[in-house]
Amino acid sequence: MRHIIAFIRNRNFILILAVVLGLSLGDFAHLIRDYTTWVLAIVMTFSMTNIRTSSLYPPKVLLKPMMVGALLNYVIYAIIMIALAKWLIDDQILFYGFVVIATTPPGVAIVPFSSILKGDVEYSIKGVFGAFMCTVFITPFAVGWITGSNGVSSIDLFILMVKTIVIPLMVSRVLLMPQLSKTSNAVRGKIVDWGFAMLIFIAVGLNRHVFFSEPGILLKIALILFIVHFVVGLLFEKIGGIFVKDKVKLMSQNLLLTIKSSGFAVVTALTLFGQKAAIPTAGLAIFVLLYLLFLSIRMEIKAKKKKV
Q: Higher model confidence: residue 77 or residue 32?
A: 77
Could you tell me if residue 153 is inside a domain? yes
Could you tell me if residue 194 is inside a domain? no
Could you tell me if residue 25 is inside a domain? no
Distance CA 166, CA 155 (A): 15
82 contacts 99 by C-beta, under 8 angstroms: yes
> For residue 47, what are the contacts with CB-CB under 8 A and spacing of at least 6?
108, 109, 168, 172, 188, 192
Mean pLDDT confidence for 245-254: 86
CA angle 69, 231, 220 (to 5 degrees): 105
Name the helix (H) or strand (E) containing 130. Answer: helix 121-147
Domain span including residue 51: 33-181+213-307
Could you tell me if residue 195 is inside a domain? no
What is the CATH number for 88?
1.20.1530.20
Could you tell me if residue 57 is inside a domain? yes
Residue 64: per-residue pLDDT: 82
Could you tell me if residue 157 is inside a domain? yes
Residue pLDDT, tens place only, 182-203: 888 888 888 888 888 888 888 8
7 pLDDT more than 70: no
Residue 233: per-residue pLDDT: 93
Mean pLDDT confidence for 265-272: 87
The total number of structural domains in the chain stands at 1
212 pLDDT more than 80: no
Residue pLDDT, tens place only, 149-169: 555 666 777 788 888 888 888
Residue 207: per-residue pLDDT: 79
Residue 229 pLDDT grade (very low, low, confident, very high; cuts 50, 70, 90): very high
5 pLDDT more than 80: no
> For residue 103, what are the contacts with CB-CB under 8 A and spacing of at least 6?
74, 78, 135, 138, 139, 142, 143
Q: Higher model confidence: residue 171 or residue 157?
A: 171
Closest-CA residue to 201 (of 32, 6, 12): 32
Could you tell me if residue 202 is inside a domain? no
Residue 219: per-residue pLDDT: 93
